[in-house]
Structure 1
Amino acid sequence: MGWLWAIIVGFVLGLIAKAVIPGKQHSPLWLTTIFGIIGAVIGNALARGFGIQETPGIDWGRHALQLAAAIVIVFLGDMAYTSARGGRKRRA
């Protein structure tokens, strides 16, 4: 069940990150989900480093760090994906 939650959280974080980042992202949905999963893992590691991994109630600090990490990972990952695919194609 842990992998299912990781995919769901990664999907949601990836979509929110794509919505927050200005402009159009060119990475496919499956790759955005992977970027979101990576962002969640990095956000959890940061929360653990700051000592806020577990709090009573909703873990707003951990969730904010997950989202911030997902935004950075989606942004950098999309840049890498776009450059690996040959850059942006210009229309005539």
Structure 2
Amino acid sequence: MGFFAFLILGLIAGAIAKAILPGRQGGGIIMTLILGVVGALLGGWIGSLLFNVNINEFFSLSTWLLAIGGAIIVLLVYGMITKRTAR
């Protein structure tokens, strides 16, 4: 998968992860999209380590699930960090 396809995958995964998570998360849409790209990287790394799945195909269901799962993890961690520093 090319760089731009991976970037698009991360942007969409971040938006989906933000829609899935309940409540209000900090950060605007730009931060969510950046965290989505980081989450897609994390999801791909975790998937390759634990499940021996590669994220080489853009239209693969496993690619999307790993990217969205990674984005959810990154958004949760980001939410915990920003809530802790806001106090």
Q: TM (normalized to structure 2)?
A: 0.75
Alpha-carbon distance in 1 for matches of 2:69, 2:55 = 18
Any conservation in 1 of the 2:9–2:64 contact (CA below 8 Å)? no
Larger CA deviation: 7-16 vs 29-38 = 7-16
1:26/1:54 CA distance change after superposition, 3 Å: closer
Q: Find the residue that maps to 2:46 and give its secondary structure.
A: helix
1:12 equivalent to 2:16? Answer no
| Gap regions ≥5 residues in structure 2 | none
Counting only pairs closer than 5 Å after superposition, residues 9-88 of structure 1 correspond to structure 2 as 9-49=9-49, 50-53=51-54, 58-84=59-85, 86-87=86-87
| Gap regions ≥5 residues in structure 1 | 88-92
Q: In the TM superposition, what is the alpha-carbon distance from 1:46 to its structure 2 partner?
A: 1.9
Q: In the TM superposition, what is the alpha-carbon distance from 1:42 to its structure 2 partner?
A: 1.1
Aligned length: 85
Q: TM (normalized to structure 1)?
A: 0.72
Q: Find the residue that maps to 1:43 and give its secondary structure.
A: helix
